[in-house]
Structure 1
Amino acid sequence: MGVIERREREREEVRRKILTAARDLFASEGYDRVTMRRIADAIEYSATTIYNHFEDKDDLVQALCQEDFDRLFHHLQQTPSPADPVEAVRQLGLAYARFGTSYPNQYRFMFMTPGKLEYLKEDDVSPGEQAFGLLRAAVTAAIEGGYFRPGDVDTMAQVLWASMHGAIALIINLQPQHWPHAPAAPDLVEQVIDATIRGFLAEPAAARRRGR
């Protein structure tokens, strides 16, 4: 490996440490309380090193948002798409929940860290919008196929997202002593998505025919 390649690799390793530390601190301490110096202290680097990679905290947050929402989008994009439109919606919901429970700090930063969204730069289509677009398209197909009752697509997709978000937030945040009789995470997730889908079905009997 040449000198230039080694320097680039080392620079990328430092950048990765900065992003990981920042994400963890934002998730645990809140956006407003975390400074660039606090991030530097966490990885035992000087604040100058942070500024060599990011112009300011807003620039760092933009990089984190881009990275994490890209990861979510690609995770959902790789979800198998069954021929049955209702099952396609269900699989997207389950995939979203797997992402949230597999990457809890990323999820907390993306959806549970107040104060950061106002700093996002305006792009033509953000990865977050692309991820929501997958769910919206699946809901549209279920409505157009007569599986879901007619309704506002955006509202219905957001209701599905909200139901899954609630389940994920409980799973990754609630301590066992505060939830002594909690169901297994996969069971909770499946029951939440199935209950939400049942509310959208064009005919309640369809749920029984599908074995839900």
Structure 2
Amino acid sequence: MPRTAATPEQRAHIREQIRRAAVEVYDEKGMEGTSARAIAVKAGVSVGTLYSYYANLPELMRSLWAEPVAEEMVRLRATVEATPDPLRALRALLEGYANFAFDNPDILRGALLFVGRVQDTALAPAPAAVEFDQMLRDAILAGQKTGQIKPGPAAQIAHQLWAGVHGALALPINIESLDFGSPKQIVAEMIVTLMASVKA
């Protein structure tokens, strides 16, 4: 006899059950111990069921932090819109990204630094990442129009700036055996260096 399809309410319940299990597994085992199998066991579902709700592990992990990241994008957008000077807007974006990471260490480790084991499927960029990238590019283009920012492809400059800040955030976490000093100081100095590198 064929199985009855789950109702929308049942599907929503199972999806939330999987998300709660993912949070628990991540809290208990960290990134290294977070696997689809461990989450499925904790949720009381099969791995196949988990993958019928989420295409892959990074997509599931990303869903855990989607709301606070989206809220941060709204805040950053408002900051940029209230900052007419392109250089100040660009700096505000980089500082906002760093401050969000420092204020939300779970999101930094789980969403921004999470590297999943994706086999055959490519994970589309998160909407917040696309939006942040566009905000960086817009500020760079505005600064190039006013002559404040050096000429060059806005996308390339945006990615160099973002990678610099992201790397400064990640390095003390990924290489814990070295004493990098104050992570906030490293990031602040990196932003100063990066901003100097893009000025016309």
TM-score band, normalised by shorter chain:
0.7 to 0.9
**1:156 alignment partner in structure 2:** 157
2:75 aligned residue: 78
User: In 2, are the aligned partners of 1:73 and 1:130 still within 8 Å (CA)?
Assistant: no
**Secondary structure of the equivalent of 1:47?**
coil
Give the TM-score normalised by the residue count of structure 1.
0.69
The 8 Å contact of residues 70 and 127 in structure 1, kept in 2 or not, is answered as no
The CA deviation at 1:119 is 2.6
2:142 aligned with 1:141:
yes
Looking at structure 2, the residues matched to 22 and 138 of structure 1 have their Cα atoms a distance apart, in angstroms, of: 39
Q: Which residue of 1 aligns with 2:59?
A: 62
**1:46 aligns to 2:44 (yes or no):** yes
Residue 170 (structure 1) aligned with residue 167 (structure 2): no
Matched, 1:100 2:94: no
Counterpart of 1:116 in structure 2 is 118
Query: 1:117, 1:26 → 2: CA distance?
Result: 22
Q: Can you give the 5+ residue segments of structure 2 that lack an aligned partner in the other structure?
A: 1-8
- Rounded to whole Å, the distance in 2 between the matches of 1:165 and 1:26 is 24
Which letter does structure 1 place at the counterpart of 2:40?
A
Q: Would the aligned equivalents of 1:68 and 1:106 in 2 still touch at CA under 8 Å?
A: yes
Q: Which runs of 5+ in 1 are unaligned?
A: 1-5, 203-212
Taking the aligned partners of 2:191 and 2:119, their CA distance within structure 1 comes to 27
Q: CA deviation at 1:118?
A: 5.8
Change (3 A) 1:69 1:115: same
Count of aligned pairs? 188
Aligned equivalent of 1:208: none
State the one-letter code of the partner of 2:103.
S
2:190 is the counterpart of 1:192: yes
Structure 2 contact 54–60 (Cα < 8 Å) conserved: no
Cα distance between partner residues in 2 of 1:158 and 1:111:
16
Note the aligned Cα RMSD (angstroms): 3.6
1:205 corresponds in structure 2 to none
Residue type at the aligned position of 1:151: G
